[in-house]
Amino acid sequence: MRRRILARLAIAACAASLLVSLSVTAPASADSSSPQQDKKDHRSEPRRIGYFTQWGVYGRDFQVQDLDRSGAAARLTHINYAFGNVSPQGTCFLESVPGEGDPWADYVRPVDAANSVDGVADTDTQRLAGNFNQLVELKKKHPGLKVLISLGGWSWSTHFSHAVSTPAKRTAFVKSCIDLYIKGNLPRDGARGGEGAAAGVFDGIDVDWEWPGSSGEDDTPYTPADKKNFTALIREFRTELDAYAKSQQRKGEPRKRYELSAFVPTAPAKIDAGFEVKKLMRDFDFVNLQGYDFHVSGEKTTNQQSALYAPNDFSVHQTVNDWLRRGAPAHKLVVGMPFYGQGWTGVSGGGNGMRQPNTGPAPATHQAGYEDYKVLKKLADSGAYTVHRDRKNGHAWLFDGTSLWTYDDPKVLRAKAGYVVDRGLGGAMVWSLDGDTADGELIRAIDRGLDDD
């Protein structure tokens, strides 16, 4: 399965209006329009959430075991598994159709001893193998680590609007997702799958609909009704997850809490088009804020993709404040952080390369204009590129006179983690874990920053 990785070009379309409507001031420890909340209120340890990509086990050769080997699993509180798909009929499904699903990677593929978390090879007779079984083994080794299934993403949000358009459709959709991922009733594939085969893999649902009420990928429909329907969908998920937890509760034991979250946008227009913030936040355990792709490699001018502050532009600070102003509790806002960079080539105009014309996306390993941090680190260490920093606004980029990469390195991520702590926010989320170095350099930087009181 190949996903068009985070090519959220819709962000760029909103930039012109934002320049007029936004007025983000210089960095500050508090914002007059959204008073700072005591960082110790309503929360315990900040969440550390990382996306694991289903397809990363192929070209990137990034296995679940690598999360243990790098030390990432010991530092994470949550793993979001990307992605679960929604069918044209409006249900969660798993089918081996090119571009639509990959059960082989999910739960059929036998993992050998060398790539297994517990060092034991999968057998031909076990019902659960592949990534799902490795996640089970990872949770055994790291008690307290939670795994959520993330539904949709940029490419697989196509059928959300249809799936939630009526009460009956929402009920059927939610039931299918809980049946497949929470109850673990997988389709049969030889010895694999069957009723309850994946029970215990997932601890909740992450809804990554891009975007209710506004444009996403070209083939993803949307309507004004999505806004209220999205609220109703989340209410349905919360009700049914709680009911299932109650039905499974054993006498004398605490009831399991199945967590419910979503990936949500940075653009104010998209927030207002699709999200009844105050109502939604009653049912969400947290939401992951889009903290990257503020500018992307398809744009004609180079720019920052993930700055902490950016006057009159998209930024982490702007995103946080826009959600706070609309009634989101600070302790439920998790800041998204990138483990990749956006890049341009043919950059002209001189200087440090920032905000200059270019001829197109820079060549890269897997997708033009998109490169993992572990590769960008090697470019920086080679001396061929100069590392530039905007220390006031909190972002970095590489420039060699021709090509420019905007990205987050450990210094930037540690500053962002400090911002999370200072503002009393809910934690940090990263896209995606396979972009980090083999020794988990980036996740360690975030972890240390979140531990700084």
Catalytic amino acids?
210
Q: What one-character DSSP code corresponds to residue 179?
A: I
What are the φ/ψ torsions at residue 367 (nearest 5 degrees)? -150, 125
Start-to-end Cα distance in the chain: 42
Whole-angstrom distance, CA of residue 109 vs CA of residue 121: 11
DSSP per-residue codes, 246-311: HHHPPTTSPPP--EEEEEE-S-HHHHHHH--HHHHHHH-SEEEE--S-SS-TTSSB---SS-S--T
* In contact, 340 and 407? CB cutoff 8 Å: yes
CB atoms within 10 A of CB 2: 13
Q: Which amino acid is at 384?
A: A
Q: What one-character DSSP code corresponds to residue 373?
A: H
| Tokens encoding 393 | 């606004």
| Tokens encoding 445 | 């930087």
Q: What one-character DSSP code corresponds to residue 36?
A: P
Nearest C-alpha neighbor of 91 from the set 180, 221, 197: 180
* In contact, 324 and 298? CB cutoff 8 Å: no
* In contact, 245 and 257? CB cutoff 8 Å: yes
Going by their DSSP bridges, the two strands 340-345 and 360-361 should be labelled as antiparallel
Whole-angstrom distance, CA of residue 57 vs CA of residue 370: 18
* In contact, 227 and 213? CB cutoff 8 Å: yes
DSSP per-residue codes, 142-174: STT-EEEEEEETTTS-TTHHHHTSSHHHHHHHH
CA triple 243-208-421, angle to 5 deg: 90
